[in-house]
Amino acid sequence: MRKIDIFDTTLRDGEQAAGINLNTAEKIEIARQLEKLGVTIIEAGFPASSPGDFEAVQRIANTVKGSTVTGLARAMKSDIDRTWEALRQAAQPHIHVFLATSPIHMEHKLMKTPDQVVEIAVEAVKYAKKKFSLVQWSAEDAFRSDPEFLVRIINQVIQAGATTINVPDTVGYATPAEYGALFKYLKENVTGIDKVKLSAHCHDDLGMATANTIAAIENGADQVEGTINGLGERAGNVALEEIAVALHIRKDVYGFETGLNLQEIKRTSQLVSQLTGVVIQPNKAIVGKNAFAHESGIHQDGMLKNPETYEIITPALIGAAVEPLALGKHSGRHAFSDRAITMGFELSDEKLNAAFVEFKKLADRKKEITEDDLYVLFTNQQIQYKDSPVYKLTNVQIQYETEDAPTATVTAVLPSGESVTVSETGAGSVEAIFNTLEKLVKGKVHILDYRVTSISKGRDALAEAVVNLSIDDQVITGRDTAQDVLEASAKAYLNAINRQLVNEYVQEKEVIND
């Protein structure tokens, strides 16, 4: 079967989705998991866009060895130089250079003639090729470009040294027949197209990203680009888990394979969801919580007689098999450590001990600790920063009477190390907590979005709170868990503030190092 390379852009295009803001530690954690999943290329970010993106790309390139790491760059020497600085220590430096080619983009965004666009693209690829052995060039908004112009510019960037040509449906406008036909046209008309990889990149604005991507594969695409859980601009990118499982289940029809470790799909999806704060819709194909649920009596009867009556994908295929026995307050450190390893976590003794302490605290309040609970405990340890100053919640208390406005009292340790206690009222308990916490932090805070969900089942389930806020015009998302929804809300608020502090700390370190 023909091998299709998987180009994951969760950390670049996925992070561009509204409300997502990952710090470097979280990006490294996702990159490690993508490496376990077996993706061919990880697009770690856009190094020229910010100091934080530069640091993330650089550290991921120095960490990940099993997947190729790339960075995005505009067709500008300064962007290419910045990307080279971030990736020069990578096992196989790879750059992704893009330039718009559609009439509407060239005229209204670039304000360049087609001849000028060709010249810019060729010069950028030539310059990049001096530094990088692997140069991917993307024709932004390729699907809405003139096909003859696409052939012309692709011919020239291949001659300039491009090793991969990406043909994106940037705004999700294509239909499967049209997108497939474009790839067929390019395969038949571009000189030297068989000497480079041809890549597909689909957005889901019309809900056709998966179908379009498979149409591209059927018509000659060697690589597909997408994200975990379909994250991305607007309606998102193609969900890579859908492509991988579709090609696996229907290999009798397609005859392609991705080389992904399908059993890592569920864990990868969970990690991305938790760290981005983007909840997976219950009926999401492959990874939604209802993907293997059967409510109808007729369906249940069929499943009991033979699972294949209504189940074409087994939970085990994507690593979502039946959970092992839950741990409880009498479980020891050895069983706890074994479970961490079984779940795929690689924790130092220090982090494992810290997780065990939190486990014991939770076990004293909760009858059974489920796999989902453990997942949160282990993940929280893996993504912690040690050096940066942060706020630490010590205590939160709510005084509430039906006729009176609730009052929140919070005790916290400031980044300076000082412990303070403040109080404030609000129209509700959560607002009172947020108003109180705002008195602690420096800067004007606006709450943009807030939600609480249950991590596991039962009345004693952990609550996960997600708070999207802006502080001094910087938008950031925080999340945290606790059995009490109000405590979880307070911790999530401070988590957002701490994430901003971490970002500032990283930027200050880079200025000092420079």
CATH number where 46 lies: 3.20.20.70
d(CA 277, CA 271): 10
Minimal CA–CA distance to 340: which of 330, 328, 353, 329? 353
pLDDT of residue 243: 98
pLDDT (0 to 100) of residue 514: 47
- Domains in the chain: how many in total? 4
Is 315 inside any structural domain? yes
Is position 106 within any domain?
yes
Q: How many Å apart are CA 10 and CA 273, to the nearest integer?
A: 11
Question: How much is the pLDDT for 512?
Answer: 44
CB-hemisphere CA count at 13 Å for 441? 29
Picking from 171, 279, 285, 179, the residue whose alpha carbon sits closest to that of residue 234 is: 171
Q: DSSP alpha helices (H): ranges in 308-460? A: 333-342, 349-365, 371-382, 429-440
Do residue 444 and residue 366 come from a single domain?
no
- Find where tokens 């997947």 sit: 67
Instruction: Classify residue 387: in a domain, yes or no.
Output: no
- pLDDT score, position 326: 63
> Do residue 232 and residue 340 come from a single domain?
no
Cβ neighbours of residue 512 closer than 8 Å, sequence gap 6 or more: none
**Binned average pLDDT, 10 residues per bin, the chain of 514 residues:** 96 91 90 97 96 94 97 98 97 96 97 98 98 98 98 98 98 98 98 97 98 98 98 97 97 96 95 90 91 62 64 86 66 84 82 87 77 78 64 92 88 92 94 94 89 83 90 85 92 89 63 46
Residues 164 and 29 in one domain: yes
- If one counts every other C-beta atom within 10 angstroms of the C-beta of residue 482, the result is 20
Could you tell me if 203 and 136 lie in one domain?
Answer: yes
Alpha-helical regions (H) of 219-292: 240-249, 251-254, 265-276
Helix (H) or strand (E) holding 491: helix 485-513
Contact 358, 369 (CB under 8 A): no
Please name the helix (run of DSSP H) or strand (run of DSSP E) that holds residue 393, with its range, or none. Answer: strand 392-401
Question: How crowded is residue 274: how many other Cβ atoms within 10 Å of its Cβ?
Answer: 23
127 with 197, same domain: the answer is: yes
Taking alpha carbons only, the member of 367, 371, 366 closest to residue 342 is 371
Distances (CA, A) of 268 to 36, 152, 253: 9, 40, 27
**The pLDDT of residue 358:** 84
Long-range Cβ contact pairs of 468-471 (< 8 A, separation 24 or more): 468/19, 468/277, 468/496, 469/445, 469/493, 469/496, 470/445, 470/446, 471/441, 471/443, 471/444, 471/445, 471/496, 471/497, 471/500
pLDDT at 363: 81
Query: Residue for token digits 């939604």?
Result: 288
Residue 486 maps to a domain: yes
- Amino acid occupying residue 151: V
Query: 350 in a domain, yes or no?
Result: yes
Looking at the chain, how many residues does it have?
514
Same domain, 47 and 158: yes
Which two tokens mark 15?
């992070």
Rounded Cα distance between 318 and 313, Å, is 9
**Token representation of residue 261:** 């470790």
pTM of the complete model: 0.85
Please indicate, yes or no, whether residues 95 and 226 belong to a single structural domain of this protein.
yes
> Residue 439: which domain range?
392-513
Q: What is the CATH number of the domain that holds 478?
A: 3.30.160.270
Contact 374, 323 (CB under 8 A): no
Is 76 domain-assigned?
A: yes
Domain membership flag for residue 281: no
pLDDT of residue 302: 61
Residue 19 lies in a domain: yes
Of the candidates 144, 140, 101, the one whose C-alpha atom is nearest the C-alpha of residue 119 is: 101
Task: Tell me, yes or no, whether 131 and 174 share the same domain.
Answer: yes
Bridge partners, 369 (sequence order) = 327
Phi, psi torsion values for 460, nearest 5 degrees? -100, 20
Check whether residue 306 and residue 185 sit in a common domain. Answer: no
- Are residues 170 and 76 part of one domain? yes
Beta-strand relationship, 419-425 and 404-413: antiparallel
Does 191 share its domain with 126? yes
Select from 326, 284, 340, 343 the least CA-distant residue to 462. 326
453 C-beta neighbours (distance < 10 Å), count: 14
Amino acid occupying residue 389: P
Distance CA 284, CA 266 (A): 12
Residues 411 and 311 in one domain: no
